[in-house]
Structure 1
Amino acid sequence: MLMDIKDIMNTIPHRSPFLLVDRVEEMETGKRILAKKCVTYNEPFFAGHFPQEPVMPGVLIIEALAQAGAICVLSDEANKGKIAFLGGVNKAKFRGKVVPGDVLSLEVEIIKVKGPVGVGKGTAKVDGKVVASGEITFMIG
């Protein structure tokens, strides 16, 4: 493991219940990251989505990818202490459910950076199967 929860909280400002990355397993700073989110039944969103069949909302899977990308970009010395803001999401696709007990694998490749704006290509997997993907535009401020 490259980063634990304390390292992550020292890099991005998110906190419970909105911190959606538990650990970082691989990272090339500013280029690519592989992070994990351990999904438990205790997640607050499961109370309403859905009580009879708990499913992690797709927008939160995209947010988890965005947070992983932010960790990758903000780990760069030039960006220490800054915040990465979500600027847009393109080509988002959802291909499977994420349920309690799943370990969400978050892979983000930074494909473009121009000044304070960049784009990351994100893929979320459970047990090697793609459950969501998309391009995330971010702004560093």
Structure 2
Amino acid sequence: MTGRDQITRIIPHRPPVLLVDEILSVVPRRTITARYTVTAQRPWAAGEDEFPPGLTIESFAQAALVLMLWERPNPDVVRGAVAVAGQGEGIRLPGRARTGDVIEHRVEVVRHFGDTAIFRGAATVHGKTIMEVSRLMAGLRPAEQLIRATTTEEAA
């Protein structure tokens, strides 16, 4: 089992936007099972008991990123690469997580090519599916290229 300290050595996310607490199992380039505990001590809580669906998707995407970077950690986007979500399809949210729930993500690589991967999987709470993902594509792009593109757009 891997905790938050190890996760932050793999991906660049940090609290309060780090939405993966532990890795239960990983088969590099194939599958990962990760957990996130929904707490009330988060900026989005503001008296709300329900975890926002968009953050459930983000938590799943972070688990996918840990899987993608397991063998090649990239904790610093300024000197390394930036993870970019490309496309999501067939994302279904039949349930919601609430404060105190533990979301368990099961992510599987459908295809991996270069610095891009396609994932699928599901998220559950107490064994009940709260999200299904048919396809989520993510890629790594050099930070210097993204910084240069932003600077060029601002100058225009």
The TM-score, its normalising length taken from structure 1, stands at 0.89
SS of 1:73's partner is: helix
2:29–2:112: 8 Å Cα contact kept in structure 1?
no
How far apart are the structure 2 equivalents of 1:94 and 1:58?
A: 7
How far apart are the structure 2 equivalents of 1:97 and 1:72?
A: 24
Q: CA deviation at 1:106?
A: 0.9
| 1:71 corresponds to 2:66 | yes
Structure 1: runs of 5+ lacking an equivalent: none
Instruction: Determine the structure 2 residue equivalent to 1:61.
Output: 56
Identity of aligned residues (%): 30
Cα-to-partner distance string for 1:82-107 (whole Å, 9 max, x where unaligned)? 44321121111001111001000011
SS of 2:45's partner is: helix
SS of 1:80's partner is: coil
Instruction: Determine the structure 1 residue equivalent to 2:105.
Output: 106
Instruction: Determine the structure 2 residue equivalent to 1:92.
Output: 91
The AA in structure 1 aligned to 2:7 is I
Q: Note the 1:127-138 alignment, pairs <5 A.
A: 127-134=126-133, 135-138=135-138
SS of 1:88's partner is: strand
How far apart are the structure 1 equivalents of 2:41 and 2:16?
A: 10
How far apart are the structure 2 equivalents of 1:108 and 1:72?
A: 8
How far apart are the structure 2 equivalents of 1:80 and 1:37?
A: 20
How far apart are the structure 2 equivalents of 1:95 and 1:12?
A: 28
Say how many residue pairs are matched: 134
C-alpha spacing 1:42/1:80, structure 2 compared with 1 (3 Å): closer
Deviating above 3 A after TM superposition, structure 1's stretches of 4 or more consecutive aligned residues are: none
Instruction: Determine the structure 1 residue equivalent to 2:3.
Output: 4
Instruction: Determine the structure 1 residue equivalent to 2:38.
Output: 39
Q: Note the 1:12-23 alignment, pairs <5 A.
A: 12-23=11-22
RMSD: 1.3
Higher Rg: 2
The AA in structure 2 aligned to 1:9 is T
The AA in structure 1 aligned to 2:19 is L
Structure 2: runs of 5+ lacking an equivalent: 75-80, 142-156
2:22–2:36: 8 Å Cα contact kept in structure 1?
yes
